[in-house]
Structure 1
Amino acid sequence: MKQLVLILLLLIGWSSVAQKSITLEECYQLVTENYPLAKQSKLLDAQNKLDAEVIATSKLPQLSLDAQATYQSDVIEFPLAMSGIEPLNKDQYRATVSVNQLIYNGGATEASLDLKSAQLKTKQKQVEVSLYQLKQQINQLYFSVLLAQESQLLLKAKKTQLEAKLKEVQSGIKYGVILPTSDKILEAELLKIRQQFNALESNKATLIETLSSLISQPLNTSTIFQNSLTVTQLQTEIARPELELFQLKKEEIENSENLLSKQNAPKLLGFATGGYGNPGLNMLDNSFQTFYTVGIKVNWNIFDSNANKKQRESLAINKDFIENETEIFKLNTNIALNQQQKEIDKIESFITSDLEIINLRKDVLKSADSQLKNGVITSSAYITELTNLYEDENTLVRHKIQLQLAKANYNVIKGE
């Protein structure tokens, strides 16, 4: 008994795994997390940290080592009155260690760090935009799978109806009410349904495999794709990540302008140099000596032929370009939203007509069913009416899925 309970629990657990379900929103989230492009965001962050550390080193003491040995063709000569002074050697040697410490540079270091931070945000937002653009591809695959699922359900219903009708026809043939071979026509139609089902299953498997690769999530034909898209009221307010990207680009330009404004500021540095050489600082002492110098210095580029000003003017033009790109994007997006709204309205009108057509087809099929039972029409005539109803029901299902797809695409275009 315990073994039986254990087997049942295992079967239930296996069934729950096999019947895994997924929603459209989960697909969006998974492609954002797992698509290879998503890795770039972390790489950009790591790269930015390294760049920031390099920029920050400008505030640290800069240490340099310099060594040289020279031979010169002539040296300073002293007059006869100073003949007691030893003449300088033509071969001279010097080794020095220098330390430079930035004291003030007008805030250029902080401005450089701010620019790097702005560049990081822009690049990461560009990655987000590229990932967002995958949503329409996800929509197409997801709703194509839904359409295959619904078509399979309709095909199964048609198959069940034909199998029931086949039993009735076989009984009618047995008692001579229905013409012989009528059952063969129904059996042939059932074989066609099997072919159609296999084709749908193969197409569905291909779609699921493609979607699975995009979102890096194991999916199979037993996975249940939830048709849970809810759209309350279609709004035209645009909230696309591209608009945030345009804003970040403008902020990046503003940080570049700020850095340029500080590049010509005076720089104050402290320095110290210690060395050992022959001669040392005392040129009259012709021997190896230690020496040192300490001090501060100011570096100020007071004229650069207006290069800095022209660079800032160029950046201002770039900002105008971004403003223009923003206007173009909003215009094109509004046009796309308007077109998508028209598509939604068109499909909704199709669905209204589909429902009317299906009601009429059901009445016709009901009459054909009665006529077949009484031997008034052949199985071929019945199958024709059944197929007409099935095709119209399939059209209704296709239009309903297309409506869901159109609304999902509307949301993506809008930025929801």
Structure 2
Amino acid sequence: MKRFIIILIGLFTASVFGQHTITLQECYELAIKNHPLAQQTALLETQSKLDAAVISTAKLPQINLDAQATYQSDVIEVPIPNSTIEALNKDQYRATLSVNQLIYNGGITKAALQLKSAELKTKQKQVEVHLYQLKQQINQLYFSVLLAQESELLLNSKQSLIQAKLHEVRSGIQYGLILPSSDNVLQAELLKIDQQFQELRSNKSVLVETLSQLIKKSLTGSTLFKKPLLETQLKTNLTRPELEWFQFRKEEIKNSEKLIASQNAPKLLGFATGGYGNPGLNMLDNSFQTFYTVGIKLSWNVFDWNSNKKQQQSLAINNEIIESEAKNFILNTSIELNKYDYEIGKIEGFIVSDLEIITLRKEVLKSADSQLKNGVITSSAYVTELTNLYEDENNLIQHKTQLQLAKANYNVIKGH
């Protein structure tokens, strides 16, 4: 006997620990990790590095190779009688190699790199915002599965109770204590429970499959969904990714302002050109020659018709737009949190009432059970009281699940 009990305990332990389980937090992490949008974070970083490399080439020497051959209808001649200076050839040839080196451009390159870095942060945070919005969708699916899971257990309990009662009724009919055909009501109720099982399992399968596709992880009807322990902490600061997104957008504008401000700064270039051609730099020497020039060049856009100022004003307006969007987001989020705060309080009140109702229903069912055994009431009356208790217990499960869902949504809206 002891050996048999040990075997049973071993089988039970293996089944429990071998069962695949999943938590709400795991669903969050898997959805964010495996969603197609998640790939954009790395792609945006790669793209930004390429763009930054292109911008940085402004610091490197710029090398140009030019070659040309021309034929002119006329050339310069020296109007001196009996001069030995030959006229230039009408066909002329030149090949040059030029090197330009940026010495100073008012910090445009640095400002452009900083702007590119700020744009990357903004875009990556925007991806995070989109992914964060998946959480409420996951909440709805996860807690719907939890509700189906709990309802199935409750329905199982009701089925077991009716099966046991059916055995008692049949014994009572056999000994003439209960009216014949009283078991038909219980058998009909069992058939109805089978239908409820089918519907419940079908709905649960759809929910599990949908969640499985969303998080890109294989889930089955036997997967155990763990109940999360959720608490709401009111009056805490928002930590939503949208707030950082607004801040990054404002930083992007600041970097754009720096870039625009540096565009009108003086630019200093060094240059060198070497070449070979006919004629060379000496226009009086009608032969192929090598030549070179070196120098420095200063360029300064003194007046831009207030273009720079107008661009700065446009950016200032964008900054105000972002400020208004942030305030609107905080307002709407606060309204949503207040709504869920009242919802949580309402459901908690329902749960207290549910517990009281269930206590009373159990007393009524206990009395009905005794009356059925003594033949005072019919099986139909007993099933009615049992169904009333089941419905009230099911209401309790629904309210508990709704409470957990409301808390989960509250935490997601708050940014936790």
Do both share a fold (TM > 0.5)? yes
Q: Which residue of 1 aligns with 2:28?
A: 28
Residues 120-165 of structure 1 show CA distances to partners (whole Å, capped at 9, x for unaligned) of 0000000000010110001000000100000001000000100100
- Could you tell me how far apart the structure 2 residues matched to 1:284 and 1:361 are? 119
Unpaired runs of 5+ in structure 2? 1-7
Q: Secondary structure at the match of 1:81?
A: coil
Q: Secondary structure at the match of 2:76?
A: coil
Q: Which residue of 2 aligns with 1:389?
A: 389
How far off its partner does 1:14 sit?
A: 8.2
Q: Secondary structure at the match of 1:80?
A: coil
* Matching residue's letter, 2:158: K
Q: Secondary structure at the match of 1:86?
A: coil
* Matching residue's letter, 1:391: E
Residues 42-80 of structure 1 show CA distances to partners (whole Å, capped at 9, x for unaligned) of 000100111111111110111111111222222112213
Residues 130 and 367 of structure 1, relative CA distance in 2, 3 Å threshold: same
Q: Secondary structure at the match of 2:81?
A: helix
Matched ranges for 1:204-219 at <5 A: 204-219=204-219
- Could you tell me how far apart the structure 1 residues matched to 2:13 and 2:36 are? 32
Q: Which residue of 1 aligns with 2:239?
A: 239
- Could you tell me how far apart the structure 1 residues matched to 2:11 and 2:90 are? 98
How far off its partner does 1:204 sit?
A: 1.0
Residues 256 and 162 of structure 1, relative CA distance in 2, 3 Å threshold: same
* Matching residue's letter, 1:348: E
Q: Which residue of 2 aligns with 1:312?
A: 312
Matched ranges for 1:259-298 at <5 A: 259-298=259-298
Residues 133 and 270 of structure 1, relative CA distance in 2, 3 Å threshold: same
Residues 187-221 of structure 1 show CA distances to partners (whole Å, capped at 9, x for unaligned) of 11111111111211111111111111111111111
How far off its partner does 1:283 sit?
A: 1.0
- Could you tell me how far apart the structure 1 residues matched to 2:12 and 2:84 are? 111
Residues 265 and 82 of structure 1, relative CA distance in 2, 3 Å threshold: farther
Q: Which residue of 2 aligns with 1:196?
A: 196
Matched, 1:177 2:148: no
* Matching residue's letter, 1:361: R
How far off its partner does 1:229 sit?
A: 2.5
How far off its partner does 1:252 sit?
A: 0.4
- The answer (yes or no) to whether the contact 2:279–2:285 under 8 Å persists in 1 is yes
Residues 82 and 34 of structure 1, relative CA distance in 2, 3 Å threshold: farther
- Could you tell me how far apart the structure 2 residues matched to 1:227 and 1:177 are? 46
- Could you tell me how far apart the structure 2 residues matched to 1:268 and 1:391 are? 84
* Matching residue's letter, 2:373: K
Residues 207-264 of structure 1 show CA distances to partners (whole Å, capped at 9, x for unaligned) of 1111111111111111111102221533342111101100000000000001111111
Q: Which residue of 2 aligns with 1:145?
A: 145
Larger mean CA deviation between 139-148 and 27-36 belongs to 27-36
- Could you tell me how far apart the structure 1 residues matched to 2:198 and 2:141 are? 19
Larger mean CA deviation between 330-339 and 215-224 belongs to 215-224
Matched ranges for 1:56-75 at <5 A: 56-75=56-75
- The answer (yes or no) to whether the contact 2:232–2:407 under 8 Å persists in 1 is no
Residues 340 and 311 of structure 1, relative CA distance in 2, 3 Å threshold: same
- The answer (yes or no) to whether the contact 1:24–1:229 under 8 Å persists in 2 is no
- Could you tell me how far apart the structure 1 residues matched to 2:83 and 2:226 are? 106
- Could you tell me how far apart the structure 1 residues matched to 2:67 and 2:74 are? 21
- The answer (yes or no) to whether the contact 2:232–2:411 under 8 Å persists in 1 is no
- The answer (yes or no) to whether the contact 2:232–2:410 under 8 Å persists in 1 is no
* Matching residue's letter, 2:54: V
* Matching residue's letter, 1:234: L
- Could you tell me how far apart the structure 2 residues matched to 1:15 and 1:286 are? 101
Q: Which residue of 1 aligns with 2:111?
A: 111
- The answer (yes or no) to whether the contact 1:18–1:223 under 8 Å persists in 2 is no
Q: Which residue of 2 aligns with 1:5?
A: none
Matched ranges for 1:321-360 at <5 A: 321-360=321-360
- The answer (yes or no) to whether the contact 1:267–1:298 under 8 Å persists in 2 is yes
Q: Which residue of 1 aligns with 2:4?
A: none
Unpaired runs of 5+ in structure 1? 1-7
- Could you tell me how far apart the structure 2 residues matched to 1:256 and 1:375 are? 88
- Could you tell me how far apart the structure 1 residues matched to 2:94 and 2:295 are? 20
Larger mean CA deviation between 314-323 and 280-289 belongs to 280-289
Residues 283-338 of structure 1 show CA distances to partners (whole Å, capped at 9, x for unaligned) of 11112211111111111111111101110111011111111111111111101111
Name the TM-score, length of structure 2 as normaliser.
0.95
- Could you tell me how far apart the structure 2 residues matched to 1:175 and 1:132 are? 66
Matched, 1:46 2:46: yes
- Could you tell me how far apart the structure 2 residues matched to 1:135 and 1:385 are? 40
- Could you tell me how far apart the structure 2 residues matched to 1:108 and 1:21 are? 56
Matched, 1:87 2:80: no
- The answer (yes or no) to whether the contact 2:154–2:394 under 8 Å persists in 1 is yes
How far off its partner does 1:280 sit?
A: 1.0
Q: Which residue of 2 aligns with 1:4?
A: none
Q: Secondary structure at the match of 1:70?
A: strand
How far off its partner does 1:15 sit?
A: 4.5
How far off its partner does 1:16 sit?
A: 6.5
Q: Which residue of 1 aligns with 2:405?
A: 405
- Could you tell me how far apart the structure 2 residues matched to 1:64 and 1:207 are? 65
- Could you tell me how far apart the structure 2 residues matched to 1:13 and 1:287 are? 101
Larger mean CA deviation between 293-302 and 12-21 belongs to 12-21
* Matching residue's letter, 1:392: D
Could you tell me the percent identity over the aligned residues? 71
